[in-house]
Amino acid sequence: MARVQSGAQAETDLERTTRAEAARAARAKATRCIVQKGGIITVERAKERIRLRTNREQESWEKKEYTRRQCPKRKRSKVVRFHRAISAYARLCISAMDPEDQLHYQLSDVED
């Protein structure tokens, strides 16, 4: 049998439930902002993670920049690049040959 409430008590109950629903909705909105692998996390934690990640990225970028300044890339001469290209093409041709011919070429490479 349903409980009979006085008007004032029913009003306070209604007020309490609406307040609780509003708080629940606010929490849901806060947690809905970011859902990651670990499940639902609060906005504060998400902001903290983002801040930590940006710091890490900044540090690694600075490290890379430092090494880049310390030892700049050495340019390979055109001759070296040309020889590399030729040897790569030769390797490709050799791999397309019959196994017996391949053996001959590989042996001749070793002799040089």
Residues 6 or more apart whose CB falls under 8 angstroms from that of 88 comprise none
> Looking at the predicted structure, is the pLDDT value of residue 106 above 70?
no
Specify the pTM.
0.27
Percentage of the chain modeled with pLDDT above 90: 0
In sign, the C-alpha dihedral spanning 6, 10, 16, 17 is positive
> Looking at the predicted structure, is the pLDDT value of residue 1 above 60?
no
- pLDDT, tens digit (0-9, with 9 covering 90-100), for 24-79: 887 776 665 555 455 556 677 777 777 787 778 878 877 777 777 776 666 667 77
What whole-number distance in Å separates Cα of residue 48 and Cα of residue 10?
43
